[in-house]
Amino acid sequence: MTKSGKRVAWVTGGGSGIGEAGALALAADGWAVVVSGRRKDALDGVVAAISRNGGIAEAIALDVANADAVQKAADDIVARHGRIDLLVNSAGINVPKRRWDDMTLEGWNQLVEINLNGVLYCMRAVLPTMRAQKDGCIINISSWAGRHVSKMPGPAYTTTKHAVLALTHSFNMDECVNGLRACCLMPGEVATPILSRRPVVPSAEEQAKMLQPEDLGRTIAFVASLPPRVCVNEILISPTWNRSFIQTPANRD
């Protein structure tokens, strides 16, 4: 909590899935939330839901793969609110063609631009403000695939999510002296819309056993609620019924 009582969070990929759940949980905890993403209609829905519950939220249409647009978004947030206390990097994708025998360079580059470069662009964009505040928290949404290599997510997704873990730790090494901290959140399977892009889409029964977006929303809000002296460097979290431990037709594809 700042001296003025105002806390400002920027959530990328905030129109659905983990980003949406994080925005809702943060708003419920009293944060002023800015959600960004490529689909303005989805963002407006999240803002409306927060507003109906008495929260403060606004939306910015943004493609995190565009470094100039990311910087402008950060500058606009600071101009309107005077600060950025929390960045949640939740924007991310995968592609259906994800094996070595069918992957394309276009697909690889798309994942690198959004899943890795987009994270870096946003971190760099908020860094001057957080340094000036001598306070700030970043939560980077990686994946179980950021720690454990398996066939199902594919080489591009797995590589970018491993890189996000390394990026998070390197940030803490340099910026801890400025009072800044970053957490790499690595969830196992979460029942979000990204599952529809898998070669084999999990059944409704299987998705019900997965982590749910609100589970990650609560985790994000917990990390964000801790005092500035606390750095949660990483969280590896999975459903109890973890399909990476249980061989099924869907997780072999």
What are 130-174's pLDDT values in tens digits? 999 999 999 999 999 999 999 989 999 999 999 999 999 999 999
In the residue annotation, 121 being an active-site residue is answered as no
Does residue 183 come out as left (phi exceeding 0), alpha (psi in the -120 to 50 range) or beta?
beta
Q: What is the pLDDT of residue 247?
A: 66
| pLDDT score, position 248 | 58
Report the chain's C-alpha Rg in angstroms. 17
Residue 59, pLDDT > 60, answer yes
pTM of the model: 0.94
Question: From the candidates 122, 157, 160, 181, which is the catalytic residue?
Answer: 157
Domain boundaries in the chain? 8-252
Q: Per-residue pLDDT tens for 235-250?
A: 999 999 999 898 655 5
pLDDT band at 1 (very low <50, low <70, confident <90, very high): very low
CATH of the domain spanning 8-252: 3.40.50.720
Strand order in the sheet with 234-237: 56-61, 32-37, 8-12, 86-89, 136-141, 180-187, 234-237
